[in-house]
Amino acid sequence: MRIGVLALQGAFIEHEQMLAELGAASFEIRQLSDLEQTMDGLIIPGGESTVQGKLLHDLGLFEPIREQITAGLPVFGTCAGLLLLAKNIVGDERRHLATMDITAVRNAYGRQLGSFHTEAAFAGQGKIPMTFIRAPYIESVRPNVEVLAEAGGHIVAAREQNQLVTAFHPELTHDLTVHRYFLAML
C-alpha cells in the first residue's frame, strides 16, 4: 500500500508521519514525473487552496490527478484539500479539481475564530480532536455524499465514494482515527 501525498505547499509532512505511524508507505508528489509511480491513495493537504490550485496547473499535475480521482482513486483532502475537491465554493468563481458534490464556504469562521480546537464525533467512532485553521466548512452536500462529522452546527467531514474530506486537520493532532478510516477505504 503506497499513498501519494501532494507536496506542493502546506502541511504535507504531518500526513506522511501519520501514515508512517499506521505502517503505510508514502511518497511525495511534487512534479509530473512523480505520477509515474502507482499510488493506492492520494492525500491533498491543508495550506492555501488558491496556491495549490495554481501550482497544480503550472506543473501539469491538474488533469492527470483529476482523471485518477474520477477513475476512482481514493483521495483524502484536508482543509485546503477540501476546497480543491469541492464542486462549489460559496461566493467564489474559482473551481479547482471540482470532483466532489459538496458546497464549501472558504475561511468560513471569520477572523476572530480563525483557528480553534474542538472535539466531535467522527463516522460513528466517538469523539476525536479537531483542529481548525482558517478552515472552510461544508454548507451543503448532495444526497450521494455521506456526512461523517458535524461541529458547531456545520458539516466538517464527508465522504463521496472514493473521496474523503475534513475541514479540520487530523494530521496536526495525535489522533489516527481519520487516517485509519482513509486507509480502510483503499
As a whole number of angstroms, the distance between CA 36 and CA 56 comes to: 16
Residues 6 or more apart from 13 whose CB is under 8 A from it? Answer: none
CB environment 71-109: b (16+ within 10 A), e (fewer): eebbbbbbbbbbbbbbbbbeeeeeebbebbbbebbbebb
As a whole number of angstroms, the distance between CA 103 and CA 108 comes to: 12
Q: Which of 79, 96, 160, 179 is catalytic?
A: 79
**DSSP 3-state of 96:** coil
21 part of the active site = no
Pairing relation of β-strands 163-166 and 75-78?
A: parallel
Q: Which of 14, 15, 160, 169 is catalytic?
A: 169
Contact of 123 with 148, CB cutoff 8 Å: yes
Q: Which of 14, 16, 160, 171 is catalytic?
A: 171
Give the length of the chain: 186
Q: How far is the CB of 118 from ligand GLN (least distance, A)?
A: 15
Query: For ligand GLN, which is the closer residue by CB, 3 or 79?
Result: 79
Query: For ligand GLN, which is the closer residue by CB, 133 or 138?
Result: 133
Q: How far is the CB of 12 from ligand GLN (least distance, A)?
A: 11
Query: For ligand GLN, which is the closer residue by CB, 83 or 148?
Result: 83
Binding site for ligand GLN (CB under 6 A): 46-49, 79-80, 83, 106-107, 133-135
Query: For ligand GLN, which is the closer residue by CB, 5 or 71?
Result: 5
Q: How far is the CB of 80 from ligand GLN (least distance, A)?
A: 4
174 part of the active site = no
79 part of the active site = yes
Hey, which residues are catalytic here? 79, 169, 171
